[in-house]
Amino acid sequence: MGVIELNHPLVSHKLAILRNKNTGTKEFREIVGELSTILCYEALKDAKTVEEEIETPLCKMKAHKINEDNYAFIPILRAGTGMLDGLINIMPNAKIGHIGMYRNEETLKPVKYYYKTPKNLAKREVIVLDPMLATGGSAMDAITMLKEDGAINLKFLCILAAPEGIQKMQEIHPDVPIYCTAIDEHLNENGYIVPGLGDAGDRIFGTK
């Protein structure tokens, strides 16, 4: 399935603002939403549509629509919720789930504390959200949990990805495509993406 890295001047422009340490909480949060919308457009390029007859002010015609009920958006708490509005704005009737896990700062391992998803995951396209694919641990574990719950068709959306996280994801879940705005250089000794943009959760919610 591979990695789909967005390559567009507008994406580069928005990402440059995100990376800037002087960008404030409000602007940071808004741009995360905007980039998430663009990622969603890319991820849904292969969306199936059904034909429906509608009537414009001038005539009847055959139009093509997506059944939004067939989609589930699953943010990984807490940073993933910062991406959610960008997807809901264009697909408001998709089902929403949440997976809660945090990174142990010493072991860098994900610790789970919450799991709630829509029913019938096997019948839906499941899109998992997390701004940063760093070590890959949280994404890998979240997708494993969703597969155990019946999910078959999954995609992973993030703002930034590190080569280490991509490698781990592709080793464990080679069937899950990764959509990102950029692939950065590496992880530092603390497991943060370099050059990155800092801690996405703290910058989205203004907690640091």
Residues that are catalytic: 103, 107, 199, 202
Token pair listed for 66: 């997506």
Token pair listed for 90: 């264009």
Residue 20 CB contacts under 8 Å (≥ 6 apart), including other chains: none
What string of DSSP letters covers 26-92? HHHHHHHHHHHHHHHHHHTTT---EEEEEE-SS-EEEEEE--GGGEEEEEEETTTHHHHHHHHTT-T
The β-bridge relationship of strands 160-161 and 132-133 is parallel
110 CA to centre of own chain? 17
Residue 18 CB contacts under 8 Å (≥ 6 apart), including other chains: 28, 31, 32, 35, 159, 197
> Quick count: other Cβ atoms within 10 Å of Cβ 54?
10
Residue 163 · residue 135 · CB < 8 Å = no
Cis bond before residue 174 (omega within 30° of 0): no
